[in-house]
Amino acid sequence: MSEEVAFLGVGAMGGPMAGHLAAAGHKVTVYNRTSTKAEAWIDKHGGVWAATVDKAVGAASFVFACVGGDDDLRDVTKGEGGAFANMQPGAVFIDHTTTSAAVAREVADKARSHRLNFLDAPIAGGESGAQQGALSIMVGGDPDTFERAAPLLSVYGRSIQHMGPVGAGQLTKMVNQICATGIIQSLAEGLSFAEKAGLDGDRVIEVISNGSAASWQIGNRAKPMLERDFSAGGTVGLLHKDLGIVLDEAERTGASIPVVKLVRSFYEKFVDQGDGNFDAACLIDLLDGRSGDA
């Protein structure tokens, strides 16, 4: 069934996701803080561009957001010009932003005060997953609301799991970031070791991709690491932000995550020198000594 939906944030991840919704026959209205991105999306996918959040959401049964972080989510949801004050009662707000679990709960409470439904639904799979409609989506919120939203999420999600109440989606995304962080760093160290040992990097990647070291990170970041190509979309700036959220939650719960703390300090070096838009493959540069010492 075709739905009228709004999508707030059509950047590297949100743009392809909204595009899949349009391709599936849904009527999509998009809003983006940078209007040129919204206009480019309209040129490619059709649909409607709204210059402000309130104008984007008024007719939508489902409103999706994929913005920067905690404060960005607050900005698009709260206040007279925000989504919640202008959505139809009973509509569903689905947040794909990676935020803190505390903010997910805060925003969900605000949504309920407007007689709205809220799901925190962070995503994993990178730009390629968004473009291919093959994201992993981890969802927190009311089970009935999740069932309502699942057909739309399946348009661009390959794995969609309801994880529990509001906040559970964000906590699951934190687990994903913890696990991915160690793998990315170890991949950088392994390939740097291979180069210094005089091995053929391409052959190394081929053989370890079929052994116990196989991972999504090898499939998507090993070759860019060898080529020193840091142009993909998993930026260290965003990962630095994500790991800050993880460390805050770990402090609250008493969890020990020393690898995350270490690798975040490496990301911070790139952010501080103005290279926050580099893909995480750039970790190998630290081992080369080109971006400071690891």
Query: Residue 284 is part of a domain; what is its CATH number?
Result: 1.10.1040.10
Looking at the structure, tell me whether residues 269 and 145 fall in a common domain: no
Asked whether 284 and 217 are in contact (CB, 8 A), the reply is no
In sequence order, the β-bridge partners of residue 135 are 157
Q: Given 165, 184, 203, which residue is the final one in a domain? A: 165
pLDDT of residue 291: 59
Looking at the structure, tell me whether residues 109 and 184 fall in a common domain: no
Looking at the structure, tell me whether residues 136 and 177 fall in a common domain: no
Asked whether 19 and 133 are in contact (CB, 8 A), the reply is no
Residue 270's alpha-carbon distances to 68, 192, 257, in angstroms, are 19, 18, 21
Looking at the structure, tell me whether residues 198 and 242 fall in a common domain: yes
Number of domains, the chain:
2
Looking at the structure, tell me whether residues 140 and 233 fall in a common domain: no
Q: Backbone phi, then psi, for 235, in 5-degree steps?
A: -70, 145
Q: Does residue 293 fall inside a structural domain?
A: no
List the CATH number of the domain containing 17: 3.40.50.720
Q: Given 141, 165, 189, which residue is the final one in a domain? A: 165
Cα–Cα distance measured from residue 151 to residue 184, given in angstroms and rounded to the nearest whole number = 32
% the chain with pLDDT above 90: 95
Q: What is the pLDDT of residues 235-273, one digit of tens each?
A: 999 999 999 999 999 999 999 999 999 999 999 999 999
Show the domain range for 77: 4-165
DSSP state of 279: B
Looking at the structure, tell me whether residues 177 and 156 fall in a common domain: no
Indicate the pTM of the whole model. Answer: 0.94
pLDDT beneath 70: ranges in the chain: 290-294
The residues, ordered by sequence, that sit 6+ positions from 109 with a Cβ below 8 Å of its Cβ are none
DSSP H or E run through 284: helix 283-288
Tokens of 284: 């190998």
Looking at the structure, tell me whether residues 37 and 149 fall in a common domain: yes
For the chain, the maximum distance between any two Cα atoms, rounded to a whole number of angstroms, is 64
Strand, helix or coil at 122? coil
Cα–Cα distance measured from residue 276 to residue 265, given in angstroms and rounded to the nearest whole number = 13
Q: What is the pLDDT of residues 186-243, one digit of tens each?
A: 999 999 999 999 999 999 999 999 999 999 999 999 999 999 999 987 899 999 999 9
Looking at the structure, tell me whether residues 210 and 138 fall in a common domain: no
Q: Backbone phi, then psi, for 91, in 5-degree steps?
A: -70, 165
Cα–Cα distance measured from residue 221 to residue 133, given in angstroms and rounded to the nearest whole number = 19
Tokens of 162: 């309801």
Instruction: List, by residue number, the catalytic residues.
Output: 173
pLDDT of residue 293: 58
Strand, helix or coil at 63? strand
Looking at the structure, tell me whether residues 202 and 138 fall in a common domain: no
